[in-house]
Chains A and B, each alone.
Chain A
Amino acid sequence: MGKGIKTFIKNAAPKAFNFLLFLVIWQLIVVVFKIKVFILPSPIRVLQHLFYPPIAAKYNWWLHVGATFMEVIVSFVATAIAGIFIAVMICWSPVMNQLLSPIIILFNSLPKIALAPLFLVWFGYGFLPNILVAFMVAFFPVVINSAAGLMAVEEDLLDLVNYLNATKAQIFIKIRIPNSLPYIFAGLKISATMCVVGSIVGEFIAADKGLGYLLRDAQAFIDTPTMFACLFLLSIIGLALFFAIGQLERLVMPWNRRREA
């Protein structure tokens, strides 16, 4: 365990250093060229908006971060469950495949974000339409990747269980699903990014809270430091989710971890 922490620090230290260097250069550029704050605020200014109580108190950060975070998490979990489930159905039954594949291809060719105004009409302001937008944007990569993984089994591996007359369920549980895990995780990583995009777009159009809402609100007042603060928080949400998926992947697929080591 101690070793794990050590390697974590060893891996993280250069990244943290690079990030700090980036902030310092940014600060220098703003100061040296005297860039106006509504064009590009300095990082210190942005951090003040987030953490310096007299300024930060004007913004209800927790409320907005909480709202966006919830939307991202809920939509992500929904895409994961629905995506994997539908992929399994498609691969399980040829009838399901013929039924669902055309619908999926049709929906996937749609610019999903264009559905957001429609969801506003149907479901009004708030949580639900935002989650639906995020779901629509992020769902297809999960289905497509998972289905590809379930199909991509070496013919010889099927021989290995077929000569013992394995049932279809056994083939799925023991061969197809574990074989598809790397594909599923690749799909989930795309989905995580897309869920943040979808939630924000939803909030642009129909919300009274959340970072997307705050971004548009700040835009109306040309409050650039607040906009940057929002972007900063959004990237933190995205990174946190990405990190969590990576940890889950290591947990679920320990055989890959060993190869890395």
Chain B
Amino acid sequence: MISQPRAGKSIGRFALSEKTLLSIKNLKKVFPLQGEELVALGSVSFDVYPGEFVTIVGPSGCGKTTLLKIIAGLLPKSEGEIHVDEAMFDPTREVGFVFQKALLLNWRRVLDNVLLPIEILKLDKKKYRSKAMEMLELVGLKGFENAYPNELSGGMQQRVSLARALIHDPKLILMDEPFGALDAITREKMNLELQRIWSESKKTIIFITHEINEAVFLSDRVVVMSARPSRMVGAVDIDFPRPRKLEVRTTPQFGEYAVKLYKMLEIT
């Protein structure tokens, strides 16, 4: 993929396709908290285009997890709009969610944990067995399909949850700091794998991370959120050609992107 000239402000080459997969306008979320109100999301707006890799960064507690949960339909919004293009994908079946915690069912073996979405969606489990094995190989867990979760390390558990989020071939994947529990080397490997999965399968990914380098390396666009009550501070388009190699991180341009993001996060 070769990056194309930018159109408009902070929307990137995907604006050329015009139709948004997901459009969020002035989204607000208030939690009741001991008689008072906790504004988790102040006013959040952004668009996601089909096939785009968008990363959201922001300080801890600014509502990133809350935002993903509202998109996934796990939490009701307080105000604002979420528009989903249902012609492009079915939001009830074609979403994959990688949670901040691994959340494996400790009574199921690894393979059956990966197949959980298939069971919930009442798809043919037999058909997906070999795909589940492939997914496990992809995340580097070949040979562990019959292990129980409590026999795995934290990083391995998180990789199982990644395989589980991909098994039903979702169009939109929501990833909440999926690699936070991994060691640096595995994390880099997973970044490369994720880029490969994403570009081969034409999925759309909304990704959350604390790691600026990870954000720049993976994304087409990085969206920055402020502290609570959170709003969008801005966005940075990342114009590196794909597929990106890890070496891209040593280029001056990469550093410039990172500095820009640090400035937006007010860490300078």
Contacts and interface: CB of A to CB of B under 8 A. Distances in A.
Size bracket, chain B contacts: 20 to 34
Interface in B116-162: 116-117, 119-121, 148-151
Interface in A148-198: 154, 156-157, 159-166, 170, 174-175, 178-179, 181
A6 to B, nearest CB: 23
Contacts of B101: 156
B96 to A, nearest CB: 9
Given A159-B69, A164-B120, A181 B103 contact: no
Contact of B116 (A154, A161, A165): A161
A163 B150 contact: no
Nearest to B148: A255
B99 interface: yes
Contacts of B107: 178-179, 181, 253, 255
A10 interface: no
Contacts of A175: 105
Q: Is the interface of B mostly helix, strand, loop or mixed?
A: loop
A255 B106 contact: yes
B95 interface: yes
B92 interface: yes
Nearest to B112: A174
Interface string A245-261: 00000000111001100
B103 A157 contact: yes
Contacts of B121: 164
Q: Is the interface of A mostly helix, strand, loop or mixed?
A: helix
Contacts of A178: 105, 107-108
A19 B94 CA distance: 62
Given A161-B116, A161-B120, A174-B116, A156 B103 contact: yes
A243 B264 CA distance: 64
A164 B105 contact: no
Size bracket, chain A contacts: 20 to 34
Contact of B72 (A163, A166, A174): A163
B72 to A, nearest CB: 4
Contact of B99 (A156, A165, A253): A156
B97 interface: yes
Given A163-B95, A170-B120, A157 B74 contact: no
Contacts of A258: 148, 150-151
A182 to B, nearest CB: 10
Interface string B47-75: 00000000000000000000001001110
- Output the residue of A157, A164, A165, A170 with the most chain B CB within 10 A: A164
Contacts of B97: 159-160, 163
B196 interface: no
A156 B97 CA distance: 12
A178 B113 CA distance: 13
A162 B105 CA distance: 14
Nearest to A155: B74
B83 interface: no
A162 B74 contact: yes
Contacts of A174: 105, 116, 119-120
Nearest to A175: B105
A166 B106 CA distance: 19
Contacts of B92: 164-165
Contacts of A159: 69, 74, 97, 99, 103
Interface in A205-261: 253-255, 258-259
> What are the 9 closest A-B residue pairs judged by CB atoms, nearest first?
A163-B72, A255-B148, A178-B107, A164-B120, A166-B120, A160-B103, A159-B74, A163-B97, A165-B92
Given A160-B97, A178-B108, A254-B148, 19 more contacts: A156-B99, A157-B105, A159-B74, A159-B97, A159-B103, A160-B99, A160-B103, A162-B73, A163-B72, A164-B95, A164-B117, A164-B121, A165-B73, A166-B120, A170-B120, A174-B120, A255-B106, A255-B149, A258-B150
25 contacts: A156-B99, A157-B103, A157-B105, A160-B97, A160-B103, A162-B73, A163-B73, A163-B95, A164-B93, A164-B95, A164-B121, A164-B168, A165-B92, A165-B93, A170-B120, A174-B116, A174-B119, A178-B105, A178-B107, A181-B107, A254-B148, A255-B106, A255-B148, A255-B150, A259-B150
